[in-house]
């Protein structure tokens, strides 16, 4: 047996109520996997919103590895805490949420024990993080249709149905879909119009319902992928928009798809955003910056 002082220190931040509440059932086995690979594990369970960010910010630099167990919202908190604490400790992720867009993009197993084993056997890679004013996002900042689903769909429905819960909630809330007038300044060019949806993303999976081409998305290239959906004029227009989005065909005149390293957005003050599924407060002006390679992910 190794001396305790020779063991690597692992910070395990866990949201015990995410997803189907399965994380606690697997926790002893997960700790066992890390312990068998020479990690001394300290568990930090969250009890309220903000705990995960505070844990990572205050204590992250004291560890050799941080591992997050939870959904996209918990992961967003951990990453935000890492950045605010100027922490450079690598991060591993064990998804236990209901959709897990981040995990889908990075090929992280939905099997919690397999994900833990892949962390100890994995290799580090640098990924970009988005800065949205004073907040951060790991894979998407979005507004409009579909963007509200992550934080308005009831947790018990997400636990039972997973992705299908988001689609059911979208159908129920179709009357919410309306256009918002925005202007985007990307330095080299600007675009302005009435949009029912917009996403600034660093992921192949967005809002649990939209996928972007893997041939285009590089999570470590210092660039965002930006998707804008113009206001449809007819039912046929709306059907063509849905077809284009779900088949990744962006030739429709109602879809704009391009890349940018940073952008400034003028928007209605009451238009809230979704940052990795967490609510971002609306404002007349937003500045979004790509923090290229800011996070080291082990997977």
Residue 2 vs residues 28, 31, 42, 108: alpha-carbon distances, Å? 20, 17, 17, 30
- Look up residue 168 and give its two tokens: 């059911």
DSSP 100-139: -HHHHHHT--SSHHHHHHHHHH--EEEEEEEEETTEEESS
pLDDT of residue 86 exceeding 70, the answer is: yes
Q: What is the mean pLDDT of the chain?
A: 87
Backbone φ/ψ region at 276: left (φ over 0), alpha (ψ -120 to 50), beta: left
Q: Kindly report, residue by residue over 139-149, the tens digit of the pLDDT.
A: 999 998 765 44
The whole-number pLDDT of residue 228 equals: 94
> From CA 228, how far away is CA 253, in angstroms rounded?
11
Band the pLDDT of 268: cuts 50, 70, 90: very high
- When pLDDT is averaged across residues 150-165 and rounded to a whole number, the result is 47
Token readout for 286 is: 């937003």
Single pTM value for the model: 0.86
pLDDT band at 170; cut points 50, 70, 90: very low
Residue of 117, 113, 129 lying closest to 297 (CA atoms): 129
Alpha-carbon distance of 148 to 166, in angstroms, equals: 10
How high is the pLDDT of residue 160? 46
Lowest mean pLDDT among 88-102, 196-210, 213-227: 196-210
């Amino acid at each position: 047996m190794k001396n305790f002082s020779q063991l690597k220190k692992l910070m395990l931040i866990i949201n015990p109520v995410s997803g189907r509440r399965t994380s606690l059932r697997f926790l002893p086995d997960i700790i066992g996997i890390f312990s068998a690979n020479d990690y001394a594990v300290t568990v930090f369970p969250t009890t309220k919103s903000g705990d995960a960010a505070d844990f990572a910010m205050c204590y992250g630099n004291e560890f050799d590895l941080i591992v997050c167990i939870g959904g996209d919202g918990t992961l967003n908190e951990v990453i935000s805490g890492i950045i605010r604490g100027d922490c450079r400790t690598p991060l591993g992720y064990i998804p236990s949420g209901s959709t897990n867009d981040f995990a889908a993009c990075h090929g992280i197993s939905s099997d919690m024990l397999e994900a833990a084993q892949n962390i100890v056997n994995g290799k580090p890679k640098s990924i970009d993080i988005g800065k949205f004013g004073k907040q951060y996002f790991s894979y998407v900042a979005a507004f409009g249709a579909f963007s509200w689903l992550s934080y308005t769909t009831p947790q018990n429905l997400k636990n039972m149905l997973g992705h299908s819960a988001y689609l059911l909630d979208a159908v129920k809330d179709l009357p919410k879909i309306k256009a918002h007038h925005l202007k985007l300044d990307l330095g080299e060019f600007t675009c302005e119009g009435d949009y029912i949806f917009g996403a600034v993303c660093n992921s192949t999976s967005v809002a649990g319902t939209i996928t972007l081409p893997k041939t285009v998305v590089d999570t470590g290239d210092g660039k965002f992928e930006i998707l804008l959906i113009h206001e449809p004029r007819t039912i046929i227009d709306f059907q063509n928009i849905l077809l284009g989005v779900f088949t990744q065909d962006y030739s429709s005149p109602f879809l704009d798809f391009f890349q940018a390293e940073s952008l400034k957005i003028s928007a209605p003050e009451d238009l809230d955003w979704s940052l990795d599924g967490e609510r971002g407060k609306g404002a007349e002006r937003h500045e979004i910056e790509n923090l290229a390679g800011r996070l080291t992910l082990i997977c």
